[in-house]
Amino acid sequence: MPRLITHLCLVAAIGLAACGGSQTTNTTPDTPTQPSGPMLREQTSLPIGVALGVGSFEPASSIRYSPQASQLRHLAASEFSSVVAENVMKPEYIHPQEQQYHWNDGDYLVQFAQQNNMRIHGHTLVWHNALPSWMSNYSGNWESMLADHITTIVSHYSDSINSWDVVNEAFLDDGSLRSSIWSSHIPDYLAKAYTLARAADPDADLYYNDYNIEAMPKKLDAVLKMVTDFRTRNIPIDGIGFQMHIDRYWPSTNEIRQAFSRCVAMGLKVRISELDIRMNPNNTATALTPELAEAQRQRYRDVITTYLSTVPAELRGGITVWGLTDALSWTPWYYKIPDWPLLFDANFQRKPAWTGMSEALQATP
Ligand code: 9MR
């Protein structure tokens, strides 16, 4: 079938009868063979991480409570060398009442990681979202409350957690400070949060984590201005987490390179902290076709290559993907559009995206 007709059939929402028949069978690109090769964690010394569900409130993704928990644990421990809790270390879950911390799920993740020789990244101490209602409605001394919150959590995990997202998403896309319970009640809350975290665990790397900073220079301006201000006041911060919830087209690898470069120029560590690559941002597809899967392979390869070629080894904090399989990704329910943004399919099989990641890792020392 001519290339144009194949394309038109795809645009016409894929798999319709008009594209069917033996002709299609003969000319549709072969389903890619199952990618083979060493586990990702065996291909690099860089931490290669994954966000995992743990709690009973995450019934599909929980490595503890899901009916597929043992398969999830097996895949995570085989391929990845680092973990982060997708939810259970957020304030809402880990600090549900002022006088009550819920360690059980976080401790389960720590034990799982330690048994499998994986690093653990903590996410997240201070955020405007995922707050327990007692915190949102707090009427006591806010600075003492913040100090108790950060000191208690970071101290609890000081022997096990290697790095923390201390503050998550404090700036809006235009670079202004987001108004939140923290900004409303605690002047200079950003500096206070990092100072408290460093005091509670002097060995943990402290990150600021945000989305769109790889694509929106004004937003990154605000983050780097905060870092410059911290440095003049001896406030600790080690690196920037680029969430990188991106798609097949956006942003360009040039934009991503420029953003990483700005952090490198300031001697900051750079993590890719929540990577997923949506392939259906405009809702034109109903399935991950071989063509889309191949485009995703190239996009994963290009993004990871950009990271490795821009951030020198001593400033690389690692690469974490935001979920294990496509079936567990937050994006389809959030955007209400089908998508397949991760490295493994719903059947726990490696996708061409996995190959793209692997190709980039193997090409870079
Ligand atoms: O994937 C997470 C989803 O399960 C939660 O419902 C949501 C709210 O807590 O957070 C999602 O993870 C977010 C992360 O914590 C911060 N960056 C954006 C992520 C995707 O929304």
169 classed as catalytic: yes
Q: Cα–Cα distance between 270 and 122 in angstroms, integer?
A: 15
pLDDT value of residue 252: 98
CA–CA dist 344, 358 (Å, integer):
13
Question: Using a 6 Å cutoff on CB, does residue 1 contact ligand 1?
Answer: no
The Cα 158–Cα 151 span in angstroms is: 10
In CATH, which of 3.30.420.40, 3.90.870.40, 3.20.20.80, 3.40.50.620 is domain 7-363? 3.20.20.80
- Domain spans in the chain, listed from the N-terminal domain onward: 7-363
Q: What are the tens digits of pLDDT across the range 299-349?
A: 999 999 999 999 999 999 999 999 999 999 999 999 999 999 999 999 999
pLDDT for res 12: 27
Sign of CA dihedral 206, 210, 214, 218: negative
Q: Return phi, psi of residue 271, to 5°.
A: -110, 145
Q: Compute, in angstroms, the gap from residue 90 CA to the centroid of ligand 1.
A: 10
Residue 130 beta carbon below 6 angstroms from any ligand 1 atom: yes
Residues 118 and 157: beta-carbon distance below 8 Å: no
CA nearest neighbour of 353 among 344, 362, 364: 344
Q: Are 50 and 324 in contact (CB under 8 A)?
A: yes
Q: 265-275: b or e for each residue (b if 16 or more CB lie within 10 Å)?
A: eeebbbbbbbb
Which residue, judged by its Cα, is nearest atom 8 of ligand 1?
A: 130
* Nearest CA, atom 1, ligand 1: 330
Ligand 1 atom at minimal distance to the Cα of residue 58? 4
**For ligand 1, is residue 274 a contact (CB within 6 Å)?**
yes
pTM: 0.91
Residue 280 token pair: 């259906």
Query: What whole-number distance in Å separates Cα of residue 63 and Cα of residue 194?
Result: 30
Q: Is 88 helix (H, G, I), strand (E, B) or coil?
A: coil
Query: In whole angstroms, what is the distance from residue 298 CA to residue 83 CA?
Result: 25
- Which pLDDT does position 79 carry in this prediction? 98
Burial (CB count <10 Å: 0-12, 13-18, 19+), residue 36: exposed
pLDDT tens profile 62-96: 999 999 999 999 999 999 999 999 999 999 999 99
**Residue 86 annotated as catalytic:** no
Report residues of the chain scoring pLDDT below 50. Answer: 1-30
210 within ligand 1 shell (Cβ under 6 A): no
